Amino acid sequence: MILVAFSDGISSRVLLSKSGGLTDISSSAASALMLGYMVSGGVSGGHMNPAVTLASAVYRGFPKRKVIPYMLAQLLGGFIGSLLVYGIYIQSINNFEGGDGIRTVFGENATASVFSTFPQPYLSTRGQFTSELTCTAFLQIGIFALTDPYNAPAGDLFPLALWVLMYAVGSCFGFQTGFALNIARDLAPRVAAVAVGYGSEMFTAYDAYAWVPVVALLVGSLVGGGLYDLCIYRGKDSPVNQRNFGFSRQMLCFSKKAPTRV
């Protein structure tokens, strides 16, 4: 909730005041992530991103039974956070759109981007997917690096290091798609936007772009986490560093007499 409230809050300010740009959004999104971690890190590990939770379950032994409950909690928090921002900015949205109850996705006075990300109009679906996958992979690599006890873990400086990581990813790679990076930050507010009157265009706009910041993020986190573990990580809790990549011999053999991988 905190992450999305501050993320959507800066999107609202930049759009509705017609001031600022990607640098403001990147720094404020980084601050939102840092604040969210500071509030929840000691209780739940600071999980605010379904894609990161998935990567943690695959590569770091996070309990798989907790994956779905965590994801649902993240999405609920994103939904509430976006509605909170909408309630605070509703009069400014009315003024910007040109009247009470006018809610648009396209056009000079459209305010849908307050809630969710949208790609540059010229970007192909392949370009959209590649951009979001790359952003998320870099984010996941950074998170694993900052928490790697065999490398140079950030320790008590982790919240600040997280700020730097988020700011770097957003400001360097966020222009083309708005760097969703987090399904709870994009999908949940998108649903909230539909609920308050923006309509189904939130999901159909730009050739149904809404699926990209879901699938690309899940794939990107797995790609980034896998690359980090393959090249850097030495811990045996990752299947990448286990014999047979964590699979049993029986699963890798067609019969007991078949040769096994060592």
In a domain, 131, yes or no: yes
The Cα 232–Cα 166 span in angstroms is 21
In a domain, 215, yes or no: yes
- CB–CB of 2/32 below 8 Å? yes
Q: What tens digit of pLDDT does each residue of 188-242 get?
A: 999 999 999 999 999 999 999 999 999 999 999 999 999 999 999 999 999 999 8
Q: What is the domain extent for residue 133?
A: 2-231
In a domain, 160, yes or no: yes
In a domain, 57, yes or no: yes
DSSP 211: G
Q: Look up the pTM and report it.
A: 0.91
Q: What tens digit of pLDDT does each residue of 1-57 get?
A: 999 999 999 999 999 999 999 999 999 999 999 999 999 999 999 999 999 999 999
In a domain, 248, yes or no: no
In a domain, 136, yes or no: yes
CATH number of the domain enclosing 42: 1.20.1080.10
- Residue spans of alpha helices (H) in 60-118: 67-97
Number of domains in the chain: 1
In a domain, 91, yes or no: yes
In a domain, 121, yes or no: yes
Cα-flanking dihedrals φ and ψ of residue 16, to 5°?
-75, -30
